Amino acid sequence: MQFVDFDLHDDDESPAESGVYVFYDVSDRPVYVGESGNIRRRIADHDETFCFRSPIVETASHVRVEGQKLRRQLGDTMTSS
């Protein structure tokens, strides 16, 4: 399982697949971890939220994960301390 970078500010680059995604700030620190059955559609929802726009969020990556239960488990694991 390997995360792949994409430009979340370019709709055509957002993956239209299920998986877990991470938004990073200008220092490459993860600021948000999410999961969705369609990452592109979910990111379009985030586009309305000010805190997910540049310069707060600069880059993103994702990994394809089939199955909602596994996506949630991975997302929860990535956000727990």
Ramachandran sector of residue 67 (left: φ over 0; alpha: ψ -120 to 50; beta: rest): left
Whole-number Cα distances in Å, 41 to 12, 15, 29, 52, 80 = 11, 9, 23, 15, 25
- Residue 43 pLDDT class (50, 70, 90 cuts): confident
- 8-32 tens-digit pLDDT: 888 889 999 999 999 999 999 999 9
Say what the pLDDT of residue 79 is: 83
The stretch 23-44 carries a mean pLDDT of: 92
- 47-73 tens-digit pLDDT: 677 677 777 888 999 999 999 898 988
Rounded to a whole number of angstroms, the distance between the first and last alpha carbons of the chain is 21
- pLDDT tops 80 at residue 1: no
Which residue segments constitute the domains of the chain, with CATH numbers given?
A: 4-79 (3.40.1440.10)
Q: Which residues touch 40 (CB under 8 Å, ≥6 apart)?
A: 11, 14, 15, 16
